[in-house]
């Protein structure tokens, strides 16, 4: 787990802020869920990989609990237990830290941050399309370039396996193997669990059905799975979703992978991951999960969502040299000359903060010249020097640190002079 020094923390918070503004623009309301949840709840459909990597322990009351490895289980619990009667659709946003006991390596941390958007209560392709468009919009608003989305539909693989009467547990195992790119092993397990010859040849072909020409690849996928009706339905559903995205006018590169499986077990429909060329791993992941809310005791409720990795987005921005400067335009330091002036310096700092100007007060008793040197080092734009002589006349010295020029101003006009300067720019 990492520490974030001020500059890194600022970029993280900037990115988080952009994700929050996006939530606001798409009318997703923020919810805050606990970092610790029941182990069983988090483990229910997280998939073997995440299940094995949870920080799980017994609390003092003997309950089995874990640090959340993702948000979706908590959101599904929230819907099932507290929001079942809310009018649908429900759009929820959350943002915070997650924990997975991953091998620490480039782009994989044990503590990381996600911004997470869930659209609950619609099984229509327009809901899937909204989640894709929102994710594209986030990449755009962060200033990223050349991003592309890998998109698939778990209904294609599951459709084949289900029609072969392969039990869900085995299906999960096969999907996990596919997610880890262990294709040969996945085919062997399919055969061993009674999958027909047609099933293995279809799976093999579907795993090769990938490419950027969306209509062509989807037509190919449809003919590959033509023996399996529910897999054909899945391809058609994906076609509908992507037609909507295209017709909405947004443009981003898409790689269709008909055999795409994500590790999480709750997915039932479209799944996707956005990438940037500079990072070898995806920056986000999402998809449709129509059965999770009922698993937690709610009514059957379809849902689709996405989580974007803030750490990875920050790295992507760094690699693409995207500027995230949010530096305040002005930053003021108030310097008292001598101990008698300290209280006045504090009073003036409060006056300026009241009109939203960031102010720090010199608090280590430096001489004026040393304090000015320090102000330069801290990128202070203006200093206010409070000395007994000027103060007697109700004045202070206001110094513009960039122009290296100073004047004596009435305290009563101090706020105005900042305002005037702002508008003169």
The dihedral through the CA atoms of 43, 48, 52, 54 has a sign that is: negative
CB of 102 to ligand HAM, least distance (A): 4
CB of 198 to ligand HAM, least distance (A): 32
Binding marks (x or -) toward ligand HAM, 33..72, rule CB under 6 A? -------------------------------------xxx
- Angle among Cα 33, 34, 39 to the nearest 5 degrees reads 115
**Interaction of residue 390 with ligand HAM, rule CB under 6 A:** no
- Asked if residues 145 and 262 have their Cβ atoms less than 8 Å apart, the reply is no
Q: Out of 125, 195, 269, 284, which residue is the one contacting ligand HAM (CB under 6 A)? A: 284
Distance CA 418, CA 396 (A): 14
Bridge partners for 270 per DSSP? 153
Bridge partners for 37 per DSSP? 66
- The region of 80-88, 110-118, 343-351, 370-378 touching ligand HAM under the rule CB under 6 A is 110-118
**Interaction of residue 311 with ligand HAM, rule CB under 6 A:** yes
Residue whose beta carbon is closest to ligand HAM = 309
CB of 149 to ligand HAM, least distance (A): 12
Neighbouring C-beta atoms of residue 128, cutoff 10 Å = 29
63: left (phi over 0), alpha (psi -120 to 50) or beta: beta
Name the DSSP class of 28.
P
Element (DSSP H or E) covering residue 416: helix 414-424
**Interaction of residue 114 with ligand HAM, rule CB under 6 A:** yes
Cβ proximity to ligand HAM: between 283 and 411 the closer is 283
Cβ proximity to ligand HAM: between 125 and 286 the closer is 286
**Interaction of residue 317 with ligand HAM, rule CB under 6 A:** no
Helix axes 229-247, 214-224, angle to 10 degrees: 170
Q: Out of 22, 67, 118, 166, which residue is the one contacting ligand HAM (CB under 6 A)? A: 118
The runs of H, that is alpha helices, within 291-340 are 292-295, 310-319
Cβ proximity to ligand HAM: between 171 and 308 the closer is 308
Task: Give the binding site for ligand HAM (CB under 6 A).
Answer: 70-72, 100, 102, 108-109, 112, 114, 116, 118, 264, 282-287, 289, 305-307, 309, 311-312
């Amino acid at each position: 787990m990492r520490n974030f020094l001020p500059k890194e923390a600022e970029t993280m918070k900037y990115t988080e802020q952009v994700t929050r503004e996006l939530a606001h623009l798409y009318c997703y309301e923020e919810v805050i869920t606990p970092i610790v949840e029941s182990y069983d709840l988090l483990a229910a459909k997280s998939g073997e990989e995440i299940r094995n990597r949870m920080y799980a322990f017994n609390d003092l009351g003997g309950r089995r609990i874990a640090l959340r490895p993702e948000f979706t289980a908590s959101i599904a619990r929230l819907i099932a237990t507290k929001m079942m009667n809310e009018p649908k659709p429900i759009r929820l946003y959350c943002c915070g830290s997650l924990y997975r006991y991953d091998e620490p390596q480039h782009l994989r941390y044990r503590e990381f941050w996600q911004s997470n958007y869930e659209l609950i209560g619609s099984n229509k392709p327009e809901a899937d399309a909204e989640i894709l468009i929102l994710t594209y919009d986030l990449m755009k608003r962060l200033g990223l370039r050349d991003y592309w989305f890998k998109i698939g539909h778990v209904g294609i693989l599951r459709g084949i396996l289900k029609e072969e009467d392969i039990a869900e547990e085995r299906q999960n195992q096969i999907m996990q193997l596919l997610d880890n790119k262990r294709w040969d092993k996945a085919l062997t397990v399919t055969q061993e669990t009674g999958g027909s010859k047609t099933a293995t040849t279809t799976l093999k072909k579907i795993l090769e059905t990938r490419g950027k020409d969306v209509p062509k690849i989807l037509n190919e996928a449809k003919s590959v799975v033509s023996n399996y009706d529910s897999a054909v339905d899945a391809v058609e559903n994906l076609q509908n979703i992507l037609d909507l995205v295209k017709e909405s006018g947004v443009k981003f590169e898409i790689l269709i992978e008909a055999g795409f499986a994500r590790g999480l077990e709750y997915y039932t429909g479209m799944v996707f991951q956005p990438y940037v060329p500079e990072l070898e791993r995806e920056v986000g992941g999402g998809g449709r999960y129509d059965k999770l809310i009922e698993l937690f005791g709610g009514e059957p409720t379809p849902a689709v969502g996405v989580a974007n990795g803030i750490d990875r987005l920050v790295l992507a921005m760094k690699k693409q040299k995207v500027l995230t400067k949010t530096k305040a335009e002005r930053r003021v330091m108030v310097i008292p000359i001598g101990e008698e002036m300290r209280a006045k310096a504090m009073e003036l700092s409060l006056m300026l903060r009241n009109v939203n100007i960031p102010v720090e007060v010199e608090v280590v008793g430096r001489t004026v010249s040393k304090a000015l040197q320090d102000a330069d080092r801290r990128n202070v734009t203006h200093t206010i020097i409070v000395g007994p002589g000027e103060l007697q006349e109700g004045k202070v010295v206001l110094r513009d640190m960039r122009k290296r020029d100073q004047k004596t101003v009435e305290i009563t006009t101090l706020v105005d002079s900042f305002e005037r300067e702002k508008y003169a720019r």
